[in-house]
Every structure is written in C-alpha cells, then in structure tokens.
Chains A and B, each alone.
Chain A
Amino acid sequence: MAEITSQEEKQKLVKAYTAMVLSRTLDKKIVNAQRQGRVGFYTPTIGQEALQIGAAMALEENDLIYGYYRDVPLMISRGVPIDLIINQIMGNSADISKGRQMPSHYGSRKHNFMSIQSPVATNLPLAVGAAYSLKYRKKKNIVLTTFGEGSTSTPDFHAAMNMAAVYNLPVIFLCENNGWAISLPVEKQTKVDIWKKADAYGMPGTRVNGNDILETYAAVRTAAKNAREGKGPTLIDAISFRMGPHSTSDDPTKYRSESVPEGSEKDPLTIAEAALKALKLMDDKMLESIKQKTVKIVDDKFDECEKIPPPNPVTAFEQVYSEQTWMLKEEVGDIL
C-alpha cells in the first residue's frame, strides 16, 4: 500500500472514502431501480470506485476530464451532485442533456466533465486536443481521460497515444482495466500487458492495483506532476475487476465464472476501509455510520428526482445547430 503522510492527504482520503460509499450506494440503488422498471438501462460501476476516485484525488478543480460511460465515481469525486446523475439516468426535464442520451452518458461543463459518448475511445483524441489547447494557452492544468481495456484495441487509442507523445501534452491516459469488455476477457483483447504499450509511443507506462485507492492516487499524482511540469503524458493501467455486469442488459454468468463479492478482500471499499483504520482516521463505527447516512441521502434524492416530469417534446429537436434549420422546424411541425 502506498504511503500518505500529510494532514491534507489524510483529509483527502476521508473525503474520497465518502465518495466511494456514495458511488457504491447510488450504483446499487440504480441497479435495483432498473430491475423494478423505474430506470431503462444502466452500466454499473461497482468495483471501479477506487481507481476513479483515487485518480480524482490527484487532480485540481480546473483540470479537464474526458471520461466514458462507467465513470459515476469519478463524477461524484469531482463534486458533481448526485441529482445531476440521477436526472440523467431518468432522462427527465432537469437533465442537462434533456433526456436525449441513454443512461450513463453524463456531462457537466461546470465540473469540467465532458459529456460522454458511447463509441469507445472516441473521447481520447478529444482529450489530446484539449491538452493541446491548455499547453498552447500556457495553462498549468491537465487532462485526464478514461477508458476500458477493450478500448486499447481501437484506432482512436493508437492515434491519441501517439499524438499526445509527439506533442508532449499534459494528458493522463487512465485505463480502467476491469478485465472484461462485455464478454471478452483481457487475454483475448491483447497479447501485451496494457501498461507496456506506453513504451511503443514514447511515454511512461505504469501498472497499479486499481482496487487500492492509495496506489492509484500515488500513480496519478506522479503522472499529474509530470504533466504539469511539461514532461508529457502517462499511461496508467489500473487493474480492477468489473464486479457487476457490463450493463443491466447483460448476464455475465454466460461467459465467466469468477467473481469478486462485495466486502471480500479484493473489493476496493474493503481495501480503503483497511487503509483508513490503519491510519487511525476512522473506526468501524464511523464507517458504518457513513454507510447508513448515505443510504438515506441516496433514497431521498432518488425519490425526489423521480418526481421530475419528462422533458418537453420540443427539446428533442433543439440544439442540433446554433440555429434551428428550416428542415427541422418543418419536421417538428409535422411531429408535434
């Protein structure tokens, strides 16, 4: 386990743990709601809390994030309120994207969190362009971009890694290596350890136990420091495990037998709790109290968001362009 010593870092860890619990609780709530028919679809994040929140611990407020569809913990740790996430899942009128995107495709400019796409790895070249802009404007901020290990097979991964290195850009590539791309295990995705791919592009690559929040934090902290100092990009291969299905439409028993049960020694929450206790920051009673309080917060917020009406139908045809085209005006007239 990586060391943290300063008081500031200890406080960060406490805050990070609270975010982990909130993510886990919200995740389970949404999955249950989906089973009850209250939510259409969802991509669970259970098991990937430590690597996302550990990464966020190493970032500054004005750093930019180009994430993907399994990043709820990352959003929460960036201070995104859970109602923003729930509203997106519901696709209601309070949702930033007005119910246009299927669940798990969030975004919030206020939190420097770019709106999420479905096609995997297409966020990576955007992150590189964002990093170019920061460097061009001589800003000290950096970009974090996330993706699953399946994304490393795409041309977008290759293009982005190559260009980030060629232009020596302040961007961190965080591979959320949960072992499975829907049904395809990582051994069938690639013959090489993912962190080793960095070498082929001329940037440092590092592997961490992504279930260990402090280990991920330490790796991202180093990568962020290098990026801020003009030393260019880093690839971090955060080994984790997708404890849930790919999505609520997926049945993993069809293709895998291994599992990491909640509360087992590989569960990122268990590891974080051990760290908090070892550092004497929390005891069992405090941990339990946080969990109970969080369930209540999530339940209340969920019920509140569920009451928000769906978006006005007219909004489905707006914001395609800076000004609505004549075609769309005509088409909307026909539909509504």
Chain B
Amino acid sequence: MVQAINQALSQNMEKDDSVVVLGEDVGVDGGVFRVTDGLLSKYGPERVIDTPLVELGIIGMGIGMALNGMRPVAEIQFQDFIYTAMDQIINQAAKIRYRSGGEYTAPIIIRTPYGGGIKGGLYHSQSGETYFVHTAGLVVVTPSGPYDAKGLLNSAFKSQDPIVFLEPKRLYRSIKEEVPDDMYMVPLGKAKLLNEGDDLSIITYGSMVPTVIDTVKKNKISADVLDLRTLLPLDLEAILKTVEKTGRVIIVHEAPRTLGMGAEISAVISERRIDYLQAPILRVTGPDSPFPYRLEDYYIPNEKRIMKAVSKILEYR
C-alpha cells in the first residue's frame, strides 16, 4: 500500500504542478512510513515541504494553499497527533465553502496513518474516524488495500472538497495486490462487495477488511462482505442492498464501539429496512478503552470475536 500511495502522489505531482506535499519528515526522510520516499529528489523542496512540528500549522497552511489554487496533501504522521489541528479541520476546512457562499473552497487532502497492530500503544494506534465523520463538509476515506488506496487517492485529487484520507498502517506492507501504472480512479462514496454469500452481511472498512475476509474464507461462511471505502458520505445503496439480501448484519470496526461507525450504520438500516431484519444488528468493535501497548491483540477484533457474532446471528430465530 505504501508503494501504491507513493505512486499516486508522484503521478499527480508529475501531472499538476499545483500539487504539493507537506508534513513532518516527508522530505529528506521520505516519511516515517516511507510513503513520500523519493518525492523530494523528483520535485524539490518547494513542493515536498518538511515542516516544523506543528499539526495545526501543517493543516492550516495547507488550507491556505488550497484556498489559493493549490492542491496540498498534508501528512499527519500519526492520526493520534491530529487533535491540535481539529479547529483548523472542523472550523476552517469543513466550513469555508458554506460560510463563503461557495466563493472559496478548500480542497486539501489530509493523509494520516491510523489504527493499531504495530505495537504503538495509546498514541500511535488510534482509530478516530468518528471525529471526522461527525463533521459536515469533510469527506472521509479509508482504503483497505493498495489498489483502492491509489484509485481513491486519484479521485481525491479531483474532488473540490476537503478530504481526510485514513490509511490503515498495519496494512501498509502486509497486503500485496496488482496495481496498474495508469491513473485509474476508484470513486469516492462507493462501497465494494468483496465477497458474496447468502446467510449474512458483514459491513466493514479499512484496517479490519483482511481479518473479516480471512475469517469468512477460513470458516466457509456464506456472507456478503461489504468494504465501505468511504465513511462520509456512506454508500447507502450498497448497505441497503446487502441488508435486503441477507437480513442479518454484523458491523466490524477497530474503533471503540460507542458512537462508532457501527452505531450510524445500524441506525441507517433500522430506519429503512427493519422489515428485512431477521436478527438484531451486531457490532464487533474495539472496546471503549484507550488502546493498549503490550496487549493490543486483545483490543483489535479478531477471528474468534467475529465468529462468536456470526454464530450468534445465525442462531437467532
């Protein structure tokens, strides 16, 4: 996935000189995860900007660039560090189009690695997508593999809205996929059905996708697996379609359960398709605690927990 994102950045920079990347250690060092590796030597320090250590400055400056015809990609080294910039994201980026009557727009892309599984503890493992999804004006994207990462990022460059691009860091180097060289698009706001089955639907995204797919295959479950890919706005049509088909829904995400994406998805379903449901909607999520270091495997949903929910939902009569 690192290579795919790097290629998307490089190709967009090659094509359009208004594209710049900025963030901590993105230049000489090529980023702590090497996502921006090699860009500095290709495009120079004016376009690959090593910044001081100040997240709100990185994003605020990026918004200022976006307001003036540039296409900034701001990297926040870990999503856990983004909170000092929330004022800029929520009160500036997300509201500029609305408050200026459409005179100004801020098409900034904010890339940031999220999620656990790298022994990062409390402050290098968080899944904070809900904070962004609660903000009208933002588009929130979470790829689950290299192909989608590149295609979604290419689409992000075409968007006129501010985009929060959450990269599941545990999958940065663990998933191998064929990634075409051309600048193909994966549309924003569209989920993808990764597996088809009849007995139940598992709705998931980002870092949990490979775990869900492996679980379904290994246990020979006949399940639809829907990868949301964009969290804001949700792909309502795809969600309702799979609900109509199976009538049994499990939502899997790594973020804490309370007011996580599962809450919204389950509300959206029960408001519209209650008659199709043959069992209560279940959630398999991270617990409502901070993210632990040594015991992180207990935090991230796993095969065992997913299978427990699968058994429960299939047995429900």
Contacts and interface: CB of A to CB of B under 8 A. Distances in A.
Contacts of B63: 125-126, 129
A125 B60 contact: yes
B277 interface: no
Interface string B97-126: 111111111000000000000000000000
Interface stretch (B88-96, B146-154, B173-181): B88-96
A330 B124 CA distance: 37
Contacts of A125: 56-57, 59-61, 63-64, 88
Contacts, number: 138
B277 to A, nearest CB: 20
Nearest to A136: B46
A319 B60 CA distance: 21
Nearest to A315: B101
A101 B60 contact: no
Contact of A96 (B67, B92, B100, B160): B100
B61 A129 contact: yes
A117 B57 contact: no
A117 B87 CA distance: 11
B255 to A, nearest CB: 20
B258 interface: no
A122 B65 contact: no
A321 B72 contact: no
Interface stretch (A32-40, A108-116, A202-210, A253-261): A108-116
B137 interface: yes
A159 B64 contact: no
B173 to A, nearest CB: 32
A133 B57 contact: no
Interface in B290-309: none
A151 to B, nearest CB: 13
Interface in B217-249: 233, 236
B99 A130 contact: no
A129 B104 contact: no
Contacts of A114: 67, 100, 104
A166 B103 contact: no
Interface string A128-141: 11111110100000
Interface residues of A, number: 46
A130 B57 contact: no
B52 A133 contact: no
Contact of A117 (B91, B97, B101, B102): B91
A231 B70 CA distance: 23
A163 B233 contact: no
B87 A128 contact: no
A16 interface: no
Contacts of B236: 326
A187 B31 CA distance: 43
Contacts of B87: 119, 122, 156
B139 A163 contact: no
A322 interface: yes
B102 to A, nearest CB: 4
Interface string A143-181: 000000000000110111011001000000000000000
- The residue among B57, B102, B103, B160 with the most chain A CB atoms within 10 A of its own CB is B57
B62 A156 contact: no
- The residue among A96, A97, A122, A319 with the most chain B CB atoms within 10 A of its own CB is A319
B136 interface: yes
Contacts of A326: 233, 236
B102 A319 contact: yes
Interface string A200-238: 000000000000000000000000000000000000000
A130 B103 contact: no
Interface string A82-120: 000000000000011110110001011100001101110
A163 B99 contact: no
A336 interface: no
Nearest to B65: A129
B100 A97 contact: yes
A324 B87 CA distance: 23
A327 interface: yes
Nearest to A322: B160
A320 interface: yes
B129 interface: no
Interface string A314-336: 00000111100111100000000
B161 A321 contact: yes
A130 B51 CA distance: 16
A98 B103 CA distance: 12
B103 A327 contact: no
A124 interface: yes
Given A105-B99, A122-B87, A320 B137 contact: yes
Closest 9 CB pairs of A and B: A129-B64, A125-B60, A159-B57, A115-B100, A133-B68, A126-B64, A129-B61, A109-B103, A322-B160
17 contacts: A64-B68, A66-B64, A125-B59, A125-B88, A129-B65, A129-B72, A130-B65, A132-B61, A132-B65, A136-B20, A155-B54, A159-B54, A159-B56, A160-B60, A163-B54, A319-B101, A319-B102
Interface of A: 64, 66, 95-98, 100-101, 105, 107-109, 114-115, 117-119, 122, 124-134, 136, 155-156, 158-160, 162-163, 166, 319-322, 325-328
Given A122-B60, A122-B92, A159-B56, 10 more contacts: A98-B101, A109-B104, A117-B95, A122-B87, A125-B60, A128-B61, A319-B98, A320-B136, A322-B97, A322-B160
